[in-house]
Amino acid sequence: MSFLDNLSKTAGSAASAAVKKSGELVEITKINMSINKEKDSISKVYAKIGKKFYEVNADLMENDEYAKLFEQIKRHQQTINELKKKLDQVGG
């Protein structure tokens, strides 16, 4: 009978350890997801800062290090507007 008792205790200990480890992994995953969510929030704020800077300075900075980047944005905006026009034509 001691063999079965021993086996039962060992199985119980292993199951208990697995449950504990599983709980730890769930907690680690939750924390990592929270960290990534915060990083994503920061990135969105950075994007808003950049957009606001662009909106305020786009017409003021012509010979600046930002001028090339501003021009890229303007080209992308023009392309978007052209694509929207095509979409309107196709849709109706």
- What pLDDT, on a 0 to 100 scale, did the predictor assign at position 1? 55
- What pLDDT, on a 0 to 100 scale, did the predictor assign at position 90? 79
Angle formed at CA 91 by CA 87 and CA 92, multiple of 5 degrees = 120
- What pLDDT, on a 0 to 100 scale, did the predictor assign at position 54? 83
| Gap between the terminal Cα atoms of the chain | 83
Average pLDDT for runs of 10 along the chain of length 92: 68 75 84 91 91 83 72 88 87 62
Which one, of 66, 61, 39, lies nearest residue 50 by Cα? 66
Q: Which helix (H) or strand (E) holds 65?
A: none
pTM for this entry = 0.53
